Amino acid sequence: MGRIDRSALGLYLVTDRALAGKRNLETIVEEAVLGGVTMVQLREKNCSKEEYVRLGKSMKSLLDKYNVPLIINDDVEVAAVCGADGVHLGQSDTSVAMARRILGPDKIIGLSVENFDQVQQAEMLDVDYIAASPVYRTRTKKDTKTAFRPEGVEKMVRMSSHPVIGIGRMNADTAPEIIRRGADGVAVVSAIISAKNPRSAAQAIAKAVGNARANKSDKSPDRIKWSAIADLCTKDIIGRISKKPFFIEMGTGKLKYQHFHSFMIQNEWIFRQYSQMLRYLEVRTESSESAHRIDNLIMSLIHYLNDNMGPDTSRMHSFYLGESPLIRDESISPSSRALIRFMKTNIREESVGVALTTLYAYPHIVSLLGRHFAANSNNESNRYISWVNLYSSPEFSHDMQQFTKVVDTLARDSDIHRKIQMLKVYRKCSKLILSIWDSLK
């Protein structure tokens, strides 16, 4: 990522002056750093902005001597003014997008997540790590509803492309299990701040974390594939389309044919545009100076799609519309045009990986809809069964499996920023596809 090394998350100290009592906070922090703390978050809930900035600048000066990053809790303005290395945000704080605009591309942004929906949403955010908040319930985390516990942290690690830390009752006894479950580090509050000897407390936790890393199985929890995360991101869209009267009537065969004919005209027009974009991407990939295996993989996929998915779709369209149907400009909906316009922009201007993701969205969502259709409609006399049979068929599913494998490979070999862009493009295409179904009568 460039902004943060995962090792810096190993023992992450979060300050709390209330727990420090009358002792000097800077002294506690310095002792903790000497004991093995690798990152410090200054968390001040009950002081003025001016005092927060003053304390932030003092802490920054102290930590720079040890090359330890300083993160400011919640307040992006304070982080910017005191020259901190980054900010840590909660779900109700400044948005990640706004924080990134204010702090710039080189600062660290951490994000607390309180449930798995938020873990999924974080996949599309430009953050550097996420924090399971909390792992266990604690007096310092009273505003959260549930605790992840170790098994939840492991699931989070599998779901997320971002580094994961655990917070909430982390100490020398609880931290090792969280590290063994795949977390990159633990955030500690009271076990260090309240300790009579902060250096010794930090040493004990650092040793426990180090031993857990050393003894951890070489096989880390398998990360959920990019395509599975993408499906989670569009699960709601598939659900919304499946509840639309047009979709339900199509499934029962009660949809008026003129409405279905209009729908198929949109499909045919989109398919023609799609074929052109495939050819454009093929030429673009062929002209690349790189001999990278990814380029070869994309070329193989394009040829496969042209040889398999293309003819099957053409035959289904011909069945309903006849050979080479005449398509008038006025018959194409604004929503269909918006989808193709967005796709073409990405095909021309984005990386090949993002461009391929753009092409992935439409047939994949159609395939998901076809399978949903087939599972809820067994009426072979349904006049629209050919549409269902194509997009729910084992052959089409196999085609999409080949497509998915390539996209997952691209995501696996990409950095976090590229993965985020791929998800954003996929999500945007999904919303545009939903708008097409919204426009159907």
**What H or E segment, with its residue span, contains residue 312?**
helix 309-321
List, as own/partner pairs, every contact residues 247-251 make where C-beta atoms lie below 8 angstroms and the sequence separation is at least 24, other chains included: 247/369, 247/373, 247/437, 250/373, 250/384, 250/387, 251/373, 251/376, 251/377, 251/382, 251/388
Q: What is the CA radius of gyration of the chain?
A: 26
Residues annotated as part of the active site = 43, 112, 141
* Structure tokens that stand for 263 in this block: 């729908």
User: Sign of dihedral through CA atoms 91, 92, 97, 103?
Assistant: negative
In order of 105, 126, 358, the CA distances from 101 in angstroms are 8, 11, 26
Token pair 């369209």: residue: 317
Strand ranges in 8-162 using DSSP code E only, listed in sequence order: 11-14, 39-42, 70-73, 86-89, 108-113, 129-132
H helix and E strand count, the chain: 20, 8
**What H or E segment, with its residue span, contains residue 187?**
strand 185-188
- CB neighbours of residue 16 within 10 Å: 16
Q: Report how far residue 265's alpha carbon sits from residue 166's, in angstroms, rounded to the nearest whole number.
A: 52
* Structure tokens that stand for 36 in this block: 């093995």
The length of the chain, given as a count of residues = 441
Q: Report how far residue 281's alpha carbon sits from residue 275's, in angstroms, rounded to the nearest whole number.
A: 10
